[in-house]
Amino acid sequence: MARKTSMKSTETGGSVLLSGGNPQIAKGYGDAPVQAYIAAMPGWKSEVGRRLDAIIERTVPGVHKAVKWNSPLYGVEGEGWFLSMHCSSKYVKVAFFRGMSLRPVPPGESKSRDTRYLDIREGDEFDEAQLASWIKQASELPGERM
């Protein structure tokens, strides 16, 4: 089993990055911890994080945010969490917790029966209209309680 290691990074303003390059951000609720996570995302991933966050905010006015388990979560008050993002070494993984209920179904498979992923790699041109459609659909489904 791989052991998680951390390193300091000047690219992230001294934030600790876990193995795979995911920022280590303290658990917290609201926009501030999510913005700290996005700012600490290494290199090109930070711009992807800003774009995703902006699309989510535009698509789901009043979206609730938190950072748990070193990943930003997005949800609807009283309904649970519908989406998260996570940095891997070569991509940003967007998890739709009820992804099997979205149309079309996002491409990335999961070990979880309901979850589907969208992996965004450096230089990828992702379809913002499709992403906004998935976000809107996901926000209208019952979310995960975490």
- Give the residue among 44, 43, 6 at the shortest CA–CA distance from 25: 6
> What are the tens digits of pLDDT across the range 94-137?
999 999 999 999 999 999 999 999 999 999 998 999 999 999 99
Distance separating alpha carbons of residues 31 and 114, to the nearest angstrom: 27
* pLDDT (mean) for 79-90: 95
Secondary structure string (H, E, C) spanning the chain: CCCCCEEECCCCCCCEEEHHHCECCCCEECHHHHHHHHHHCCCCHHHHHHHHHHHHHHHCCCCEEEEECCEEEEEECCCEEEEEEEECCCEEEEEECCHHHCCCCCCECCCCCCCEEEEEECCCCCCHHHHHHHHHHHHCCCCECC
Axis-axis angle for helices 31-40, 45-59 (nearest 10)? 150
Distance separating alpha carbons of residues 87 and 78, to the nearest angstrom: 27
> Mean pLDDT in the chain?
89
For residue 24, what pLDDT is reported?
A: 87
Please, what are the domains in the chain? Answer: 29-139 (3.90.1150.200)
Tell me the CA distances in angstroms from 96 to 15, 23, 64, one per residue in order: 27, 20, 15
pTM, two decimal places: 0.86
2-11, 16-25, 111-120: which is most confident? 111-120
pLDDT of 4 higher than 90: no
